[in-house]
A and B are shown apart, each in its own frame.
Chain A
Amino acid sequence: MMATAVHGPGVITELEPFAPGHRACSGCGEALAVRLAAKAIGNNAIIVNATGCMEVVASPFPYTSWRIPWIHTLFENAAAVASGAEAGLKALEKKGKRPERNIKVVALAGDGGTSDIGLQALSGALERGHDFVYICLDNEAYMNTGIQRSSATPYGASTTTSPAGKESLGQVTWKKNLPAIAVAHDIPYVATACPSYHRDLMRKVTKAVETPGPAYIHILSVCPTGWRCATDDAIKVGRLAVRTGIFPLYEVTNGQYKMSLSLTKLEPVENYLKTQGRFRHLTEDTIKEIQERVTREYNKLVELAGKPGGETSSE
């Protein structure tokens, strides 16, 4: 029987495959995302981690935060290593060389490891239909190396390689839409999540694990260090990202979009932007430009889902 403890409004497993004691920065939203995801993944899994924050903070030899089997090799190849592990397990089980235990392979990578350098490997693994889960932990820049921009960095954000200056507003490109790219691979399950909505996140990870074939989950992970917000604000900032429509929560099951929250009215993006130092230089005009884009993109999603929201999810 699964050990449980009363936690908030519901019951959440006490299982902690991702142990405390890791070396993430204080207030790290990504470590929280991994902890929650790991609870949902459970013990019968193999984690394939790309190089990045979560690899560095969780595995400084001779310590490890992982109570389940875990492998890290390189930056851009998590999806490919996961492909090999999944195919290897299946082949060995088929040949009777390993008992059939339905072990799930789960790849973890940051936004750079997913949307930039690892995109090809991810596309290949999704296209080939491996039975695995890929989780992108998106903190919107190369935080591990010191806050350099990635293609997942949002428009207007100041980073160390897209600094705001007299001639630049910071990041001049719009965030690459990775979930849409995953959906375009026609895989059975794609979802977005944020640890500010922890039950929603865990439900989606569970669903991804239970889905045969490839599943992709994109988790917005607030990074107080890189976003320049207060270390006790990760949950609040994540919630604002969702409520402003900047990072909508939705899932796509067999191509069918469904909004995860019923948001009758979006909060102004300014409420979100003003919580973070990376946006402090933005002018009213730029904020207006962002607002227009966010509203337009959010409406597109709602249209895809056919209605404004699915079931109301508790936070």
Chain B
Amino acid sequence: MIPARFNPQTPRRHRTGGVWSTLFLGAIIIAIVALGALLTNIMDESFGLVAIESRIDPATLERDGTLLEALDKEQLIQILTEHISAGLLRRLENDQAFEERDRGNVYALVLERVVEPEIVKTWSLTDSLLNRDAIKAEALAKYPQATLEFHAWINPAFMQMSQSSKPEFAGVRTAILGSLWTIAITIIVAFPTGVGAAIYLEEYASDTLVNRVIQTNINNLAGVPSILYGMLGLTIFVRGLEPFTSGALLGAVDTTTANGRTVLSAGLTLALLVLPLLIINAQEAIKAVPGSLREASYGLGATRWQTIWHHVLPNAMPGILTGTILAISRAIGETAPLVVVGASAFVALDPSGPFSKFTTLPIQIYQWTTRPQDQYRNLAAAAILVLLVLLLSLNAAAVLLRNRYSRKL
């Protein structure tokens, strides 16, 4: 038997070790729980029971025993003419002639103008599932006129409708299109510039003062808060280059804006924002191309640019693309700089080009989140789901790309 004085500490030390290892793991578990809470919270608000009060009960609009949803276009137009004023009818006719509208469009009009459903109260998903009876009783007592139904806030109509002052008819189409336009401009500007800068720093730059300054500067830029890029964009693109960013210089002014707060300004601002990140990622990819490849190319008499274009770039491309996708997904989620650059609070018209007014998905989420009414909270949650799915698919694409092309050189 070993005398006790040889190992008096050991069991205690191991116990302490066990406790701490649990604590270390606990930190990760808390992070995972937080992620779970975040996702649950969003799902919870995206679906649930709602109480809907309609100005006119859809049941009274039945024709010959056919439900409103099943009526054909002619009957729907008839309902429309019976229930709305002649002036409004003329205006709708002016927007788009009734002959040209399809049935779905007319049905939407009947809902919006005649039935006018209004969501008076919403419940979260967990409430809706667990306390269904209590909710029914509450709805009956407080909103006797209302019908209670299960509503998915994220639905096809939500994806197709543009911004509206009524939460029942608000959608994210304008915001999604705005995001796509902005990102397209960001990619067009940032990708060639970023890859170019990375090539310069990795393949050409010798260790001179200028090049060292450029490298240090890029690393520091990556740490500048995004909101400051917004202020840069506001001053340079929106105000300084207004003739260019508003389209006046090219004779392409969008009549609805006519100032520099356009898709183009937003895209350029985001391009500057992601540039450092993109350059650093591309540099890593280029660094990973083995030197022997370059030597072989030079040995065959290729010039420097030929070597880069035919050998270095093709081999670095998967890495560069992965890095680019990651940088772009950061740009898609950016909100603060775009608020500063001047995203419009309310855009109902789809952006038609680089000189349109803009709003983007994160901006839409921000605006809905900051409204006090519950309905907008639900809309924000649904829009967040759309954004997260978009980002997740981008990241999945990046991972696939990495796995597909990552071969050992």
Q: Do A and B come from one complex?
A: no
Please give the residue numbers on chain B whose beta carbons come within 8 Å of chain A beta carbons, in ascending order. Answer: none
- Residue ranges of A at the interface with B (Cβ–Cβ < 8 Å): none
